Amino acid sequence: MGIVVVGKGFVGEATGLVLGDGVAWQDPAKGFHVRDFSPYTHAVVCVPTPLGIHGLEHGDVVDSIRNMTDNGFSGILVIRSTCEPWFLKSLQMKHGSILYWPEFLRERYAEEDSLNPRQIIIGGEVNLASDWGRRLRRSGYGIGVEWTITDLCTASVIKLGLNSALAAKVMMFNALHAACGMAGADWETVRHAVGNDPRIGAEQTMVPGPDGMFGFGGKCLPKDLSSFHELVPDDRFIAGIIAQNSEVRDE
């Protein structure tokens, strides 16, 4: 099973750790070129999908796939780049063999998060997804964690929804921090007691956050929350989280 990883950023590098030695790399901007893709059975796409004015920008994904198919690739596309359900379905209609293996990586801890996942989601046609899961397990990946094999759209909503829920949690603790200031309550005691409830958990409770700012930043939470909002554009709760985060980040 020949595998090429497309994109040698932090997601691609972390993915390479999981897949092990022997993978090929395609990232012309970093000096990695594959001329003939015909020997590869799987291509794992890890290129950026930044948030633009009208949602996620898929240009790098489209260009990468076009380059591979123009140069002999006829295998299974495994998408790690963040993508909405409609885009994944469009890829499936055009290319057929598509899997979505979303990443849940913190950029500063990508290696650790990749090798020690909390759960693993694989979306696509069940036989293809199960075969990919077996290939990953053979390397010792994901031992002892929950695996979800599902369809493309469900996998995409899990990815966007999970990070959106984390964003909502961050903003809830920002509100608790403000409430402590208003009420004269001890913030650390409140934070510990609320986060100590196993239904809530202690992560994402620091205010200010790791970057020293209120709300949430980084590449993942703002992008995934905005993408999730595109799925439910009339949802005032999600719109409120986006607006409140924008306000506190600008303070």
Kindly name the residue from 46, 83, 153, 220 that is annotated as catalytic: 220
Complete DSSP assignment for 104-131: ---GGGHHHHHHS-SEEEEEESHHHHHH
List Cβ<8 Å contacts ≥24 apart for 14-22. Answer: 14/103, 14/105, 14/110, 14/111, 14/113, 14/114, 15/44, 15/46, 15/80, 15/103, 15/114, 17/111, 17/114, 17/115, 18/114, 18/115, 18/136, 18/139, 18/141, 19/44, 19/139, 20/139
Neighbours of 242 (CB within 10 A): 17
Q: Is 153 considered catalytic here?
A: no
Catalytic residues: 220
